[in-house]
């Protein structure tokens, strides 16, 4: 994210994000796959994955990478540029996927699914709506389903991206509903000097 423009800026919905794509002000993007994705893939975590939801997919390469691994992909974003980008990528690859312009706080799958992959969608939302968002994630997953979470670490106030401290995440993703693995969590570095903590949470 372009910190210069957005640090301490009030959270804006769709048009703000769309504008960032139009301005190419997308410092959160990486050249390739997120190192956590590659790590989890190497550990066999994606084997036999059925359906995976990718909220706030942006223009990231992970939806197609999941599809290449045989997953049925549902990729969501409310920024038209992000959706157009993913549609084009999937059309070129001749792979079917559900790519939907939708608000992640409202959208519902037809039925609960096996997995979701949140690559900096949570940190893009204002913390006031985090409990609503987490309820959504809970409802999207089958019991035993896995949430592949990338918790943004900025160590700063304000956002987006909003800092996602582990203690806050542990309260939000309550252990009554989610199984937490033991630390340490995978540290996914980024050339923008921020990093994410990769955690696989299992829906109870």
Q: Which residues bind ligand SAM (CB under 6 A)?
A: 17, 28-29, 56-58, 60, 76-79, 82, 103-105, 119-121, 124-125
Measuring CA to CA, which residue among 37, 49, 23 is closest to residue 144?
A: 49
Note whether 117 and 54 are within 8 A (CB).
yes
Q: How far is the CB of 121 from ligand SAM (least distance, A)?
A: 5
**Shorter beta-carbon distance to ligand SAM: residue 57 or 200:** 57
Total residues belonging to the chain = 204
**Shorter beta-carbon distance to ligand SAM: residue 65 or 182:** 65
Q: State the residue number with the nearest CB to ligand SAM.
A: 58
Q: CA gyration radius for the chain? A: 16
Q: How far is the CB of 186 from ligand SAM (least distance, A)?
A: 16
CA distances from 1 to 23, 51, 55, 63 (A): 11, 29, 17, 20
Contacts of 158 (CB under 8 A, 6+ apart): 7, 8, 9
Q: How far is the CB of 18 from ligand SAM (least distance, A)?
A: 7
Q: How far is the CB of 176 from ligand SAM (least distance, A)?
A: 25
**Shorter beta-carbon distance to ligand SAM: residue 53 or 124:** 124
**Shorter beta-carbon distance to ligand SAM: residue 26 or 204:** 26
What is the distance between the alpha carbons of residues 97 and 128, in angstroms, rounded to a whole number?
31
Q: How far is the CB of 145 from ligand SAM (least distance, A)?
A: 19
Q: Mind giving me the DSSP string for 89-119?
A: HHHHHT---EEEE--TTT---SS-EEEEEEE
**Shorter beta-carbon distance to ligand SAM: residue 78 or 173:** 78
């Amino acid at each position: 994210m372009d910190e210069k423009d957005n640090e301490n800026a009030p959270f804006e919905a769709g048009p703000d994000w769309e504008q960032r794509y139009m301005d190419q002000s997308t410092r959160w993007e990486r050249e390739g796959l997120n190192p956590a994705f590659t790590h989890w893939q190497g550990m066999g975590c994606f084997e036999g994955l059925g359906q995976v939801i990718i909220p706030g997919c942006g223009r990231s390469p992970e939806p197609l990478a999941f599809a290449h691994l045989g997953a049925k992909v549902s990729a969501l974003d409310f920024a038209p540029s992000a959706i157009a980008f993913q549609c084009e990528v999937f059309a070129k690859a001749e792979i079917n996927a559900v790519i939907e312009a939708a608000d992640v706080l409202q959208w519902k799958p037809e039925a609960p699914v096996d997995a979701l992959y949140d690559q900096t969608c949570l940190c893009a939302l204002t913390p006031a709506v985090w409990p609503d968002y987490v309820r959504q994630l809970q409802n999207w997953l089958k019991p035993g389903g896995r949430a592949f979470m990338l918790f943004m670490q900025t160590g700063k106030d304000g956002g987006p991206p909003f800092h996602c401290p582990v203690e806050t995440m542990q309260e939000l993703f309550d252990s009554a509903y989610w199984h937490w693995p033991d630390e340490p969590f995978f540290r996914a570095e980024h050339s923008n000097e921020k990093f994410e903590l990769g955690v696989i949470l299992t829906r109870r």
